[in-house]
Chains A and B, each alone.
Chain A
Amino acid sequence: METVIYILSWIFLLGGAIFLLVGAIGILRFPDFYTRLHAVSVCDTMGAGLVLAGLMLQGGFSLVTVKLLLIFYFMIFTGPTAVHALAQAALQGKLKPVVDEHEQQ
């Protein structure tokens, strides 16, 4: 059981790391703001979630887990809220999404 949890935790952690990396590459490579939002969302939810879950498994059931849960709870709410607010502000600020590759040129 111990080993299973241990291995599981590392899988979670590694998975989270991969998502984080992917999201980071996304934010660098995507063409415009709105697309980059997606990349960030990947980081915020999947990446963060998996890493935290992995840590929870590592920590066992204690105050640590509670705190990690709390962090997770916060992140799951704040991330999208921030991104949403950001998108809304961008829209309000008349930022145009890049619709077509040709148009951009």
Chain B
Amino acid sequence: MEILIDTILLVLLMITGFSIVRMRSLLAATMLTSIYSLLSASLFVVLDAVDVALTEAAIGAGISTILLLATIALTTDREKPPQRTPMLPLIVVIITGMALIYGTLDMPHFGNPQAPVHLHVAPAYLHDTPGEIGIPNVVTSVLASYRGYDTLGELAVIFTAGAGVLTLLGYRTRGGNSMDPGIRKLLILRVIGKLFFPLILLFALYVQFHGDYGPGGGFQAGVIFATGFILYALAFGLGNAQRLIPHQLLRIMVAFGMLLYIGVGIESMLLGGKFLEYNVLADDPVSGQHLGIILIELGVGITVASVMLMIYYVFRSRQPEGDL
């Protein structure tokens, strides 16, 4: 039954994918990309990957789409019709696809409980997490503790993206607090924005701190947090949003989150453990793990939220004044 839904979703994804490639309107393609992302997120839910689904929805359907839109606003929304169908890419794609399909022939079948992935390493995570880490969400325990170093790397990637976008596009502060005429007309939007803004932030906090028990964690929370501010910026104008959270503050927060994460690692080293060994952070290993995970998730949340918001600011502040 799940298989059925899974199949239908895959087919829908395929249709969406083909449409995206064919679309010559970039805006439409972006919309479809957003749908693609949502659909794949639904697929993740079907496949029991709830944390991933949450992240994919927030990042793929949310932030990526918004960034694409901002880029289209700064460039153009139309794609020149291709002059010819290039053969070489087609051949490359077919060869690659064939290689992959060839590779699938010896794969363990979908959902097979005897597949190697279910027999090695992972069972230990499932088995040991309650005892060693003491939280129910195994994804969080693997993410934050067993493979916490990957997560640090991931944070560094996001940090790099933030620094990179800032380097590339620079940052311009919006002068004036007047809202542009477009916004004045959208009274409803403003009301809704005002209504939702605190709710979203609250929800972000929930996702942040509930990550140990259910789907969620620093990344998702950070993105939702940023989404809240983006909504604010959409409803009240970039200038007002920038007054709410100024760029300098963002910059400090970006660095702070990173340093918090690394600091936890260094601290555990100073206390005689290995890098990122949370056990030594408190008297009892499990509460040490708890403390460590909360701290690093906080670091992740802060950095991700501020990087996302910073990237959005940077993109939008590139827009000519009148269009905001």
Contact = CB atoms under 8 A, between A and B. Distances in A.
Direct contact of A and B (CB under 8 A): yes
Interface string A52-72: 000000000000000000000
Contacts of A33: none
Contacts of B196: 74, 77-78
Interface stretch (B91-99, B144-152, B182-190): B182-190
B185 A81 contact: no
Interface residues of A, number: 8
B320 to A, nearest CB: 18
B252 interface: no
B195 interface: yes
B192 interface: yes
A100 B188 CA distance: 31
B192 A88 contact: no
A85 interface: yes
A81 B191 CA distance: 10
A92 B196 CA distance: 25
A78 B186 contact: no
- Secondary structure of the B contact surface, majority rule: helix
Contacts of B185: 88, 92
Contacts of A29: none
A86 to B, nearest CB: 11
Interface residues of B, number: 7
Interface in A61-105: 74, 77-78, 81, 84-85, 88, 92
Contacts of A81: 188-189, 192
Contact of B189 (A74, A85, A92): A85
Interface string B192-233: 100110000000000000000000000000000000000000
A78 B195 CA distance: 11
B181 to A, nearest CB: 10
A2 B286 CA distance: 42
Nearest to B200: A74
A84 B186 CA distance: 9
Contacts of B192: 77-78, 81
A81 B189 CA distance: 6
A45 to B, nearest CB: 15
B158 to A, nearest CB: 27
A84 B192 CA distance: 12
A54 B11 CA distance: 28
Q: Which of A81, A88, A92 has the most CB of B within 10 A?
A: A81
A88 B195 contact: no
A85 B196 CA distance: 16
Interface string B8-52: 000000000000000000000000000000000000000000000
Contacts of A92: 185
B292 to A, nearest CB: 27
A77 B185 CA distance: 18
Contacts of B195: 77
Nearest to B203: A70
A73 to B, nearest CB: 9
Interface of A: 74, 77-78, 81, 84-85, 88, 92
Closest 10 CB pairs of A and B: A81-B192, A81-B188, A84-B188, A77-B192, A85-B189, A85-B186, A81-B189, A88-B185, A77-B195, A88-B186
Interface of B: 185-186, 188-189, 192, 195-196
Given A85-B189, A88-B186, A92-B185, 6 more contacts: A77-B195, A78-B192, A81-B188, A81-B192, A84-B188, A88-B185
16 contacts: A74-B196, A77-B192, A77-B195, A77-B196, A78-B192, A78-B196, A81-B188, A81-B189, A81-B192, A84-B188, A85-B186, A85-B188, A85-B189, A88-B185, A88-B186, A92-B185
